[in-house]
Amino acid sequence: MKIIRTEDLRGTDREVVSPDGWTSVRWLLAKDGMGFSFHETTFPPGLEFDMWYKHHFEAVFCYQGEGTIVNRDTGEEFEIRPGTVYALDNHDRHTLKAKTEMKLVCSFNPPVTGREIHDEDGAYVPPED
């Protein structure tokens, strides 16, 4: 059994502060052996960020804040608010736009290691070992 507290991860290598403005606390990573990773990501108000997880599937639950997600291939735009789940089940190219500060719980399959960075496409590229 694992017991993980967000406050214990602040300021460690499991808290990723992006130069783009978002912050992610990685509760579970590949090395935890669960078969998925599990994070809390915070988007500040006004942030618009392009992503495209070519190598991962992601499910996201919004529990605080409001914004929209745009499917960049179809142009469809969907409202995100507390209680909304979106699943990127087709490696969807998307833009997340935060109207207010958004708090999101995210799960990735395959799990991330915690050291990935977004490339020019917005995808996570595993680091060179």
Residue 86 CB neighbour total at 10 angstroms: 18
> Can you give the residue ranges of every domain in the chain?
14-114
Mean pLDDT taken over the chain: 91
**Which residues are registered as beta bridge partners of 85?**
61
**Which residues are registered as beta bridge partners of 96?**
49, 69
pLDDT of residue 129: 45
Q: Is the pTM of this model over 0.85?
A: yes
Contacts with 80 (C-beta within 8 Å, 6 or more apart), sequence order: 62, 65, 66, 67, 68, 69, 86, 96, 102
Q: What's the CATH superfamily of 14-114?
A: Jelly Rolls (2.60.120.10)
Tokens of 46: 């006004």
The per-residue pLDDT for range 69-121, each reduced to its tens digit, is 999 999 999 999 999 999 999 999 999 999 999 999 999 999 998 866 666 76
